[in-house]
A = this chain, B = another copy of it.
Amino acid sequence: MFTFGATEGAQELVKKSDYERLINEFGAKSIDDEIISSFRKPHKFLLMKLFYAHRDLDLYLKERLNGRPVSIVSGRGPSNYMHIGHLVIFEFVKWLQDELDAEVYIPLSDDEKYVFGKVKSLDQAYTYAVDNALDLIALGFKEGKTFFFVSTRLSEIYELSVTLSRYLTFNTVRATFGLEGEGVNSGVVFYAAVQAAHILLPTAKKGLFVLVPIAMDQDPYMRLTRDIAVKAGFKKPAAVYSKYISGLTREPMSASKPETSVFLIDSEEDVRKKIWTAFTGGRPTVEEQRKFGGNPDICVVYEWLKVFIFKDLKTMDEHARKCRSGELLCGECKRMLADGLIKKLAEHKARKKQALKVIDRFFLHEIEIPEEIIKLLE
């Protein structure tokens, strides 16, 4: 529920109009051309406005421009194997790391998933945490500048959470997280402070300015953490907000609905089948498609091509033009997407195997690799 990134379920509540409300009502700012052009080679996610809003990103970039080191915190709640949608924020984080030479902290919140009842035990969450970390290391994060930790295993986290908890009342937690009644367990109440500790760790430890790339519906927790930071005498963390990517069925992507997304452990056959039944903006017949063209604006296959396959805006626009003109049939797009994803997953799996050899160098504490994770990669 609180984890940064493409959180299960949360996005069901997000409407397109909410994207604007974050800016118009809640005081976030648009990522404008000035910010975009301050990067050497802006990421396509910025150009296509997938990351579209921010808080204090301008101040953060100024800090970096003035030669001071900065950091990025981007968490993952380990309650499942990851799907391709989960990688989006982390691909962006990896690009930011290269661009800003930033330290990246990746908390794996086993505590969160357990207190919210998303896993049976902390051990179960731990297994997913190691698996998920391998997936993330496979994205190419820099060794020595990227620090993973399982939340219950780094004693600094509990210590900092306790320090912050004094600035966070039960009432505030309840209001922010929309908890129902008081039957909520004590771990859930405290987790709000733990999440703040995840974000503020680089500031508390090294005085670094923190940036949190995050899905836009997670802003209430971000605002809460920024309030706590001020009360506790820390620099307020900056945030950059992403929109959501549609699931294949047009529902939100969800680990509990396998048909909505492509999992990193899916077989070639799984991928083809899922993409084949994906929602498109096509016409009922080939004839109509040739005559009237498709509608890329509502097409999930096109959306996925943009996010996962195409490298630049020119390719995206050209593809949309061809769709609208009737040059492309949905089958061609689906094949293109399936082929691209299968290649991507195969490359990913190879890098994930390599990650197994270096994973311990990326952790702030000792780790053991669960047997089932090793088997999964054989």
What is A's interface to B at a CB cutoff of 8 Å? 111, 114-115, 117, 121-122, 152-155, 157-159, 161-163, 165-171, 173-174, 182-190, 192-193, 365
B-side contacts of A192, CB under 8 Å: 186
Q: Is the CB of B122 within 8 A of A166?
A: no
B-side contacts of A169, CB under 8 Å: 182-186
In the complex, which residue of chain B has the Cβ closest to the Cβ of A114?
B162
- A159 and B170 in contact (CB under 8 A), knowing A190-B165, A190-B187? no
B-side contacts of A122, CB under 8 Å: 159, 162-163
Consensus secondary structure, chain A interface: helix
B-side contacts of A171, CB under 8 Å: 182-183
Top 6 nearest A-B pairs by Cβ distance? A165-B187, A190-B190, A158-B158, A155-B155, A152-B159, A171-B182
Q: Is the CB of B186 within 8 A of A173?
A: yes
Inter-chain CA distance A142–B4, complex, in Å, is 47
Inter-chain CA distance A122–B115, complex, in Å, is 25
- A165 and B186 in contact (CB under 8 A), knowing A152-B159, A155-B154, A158-B155? yes
Q: How far is the CB of A192 from chain B (nearest CB, A)?
A: 6
- A166 and B111 in contact (CB under 8 A), knowing A158-B158, A171-B183, A187-B190? no
Q: Is the CB of B182 within 8 A of A186?
A: no
Inter-chain CA distance A187–B185, complex, in Å, is 13
Q: Is the CB of A163 within 8 A of B193?
A: no
Inter-chain CA distance A189–B174, complex, in Å, is 13
Q: How far is the CB of A316 from chain B (nearest CB, A)?
A: 44
Identify A158's interface contact among B152, B174, B185, CB under 8 A: B152
Q: Is the CB of B162 within 8 A of A111?
A: yes
B-side contacts of A154, CB under 8 Å: 155
Q: Is the CB of B185 within 8 A of A167?
A: yes
Identify A183's interface contact among B111, B121, B170, CB under 8 A: B170
Sample (19) of A-B pairs whose CB atoms are under 8 Å apart: A111-B162, A114-B163, A121-B163, A122-B162, A152-B159, A155-B158, A158-B158, A162-B187, A167-B185, A169-B182, A170-B170, A170-B184, A170-B185, A171-B183, A173-B186, A174-B182, A186-B189, A189-B189, A189-B190
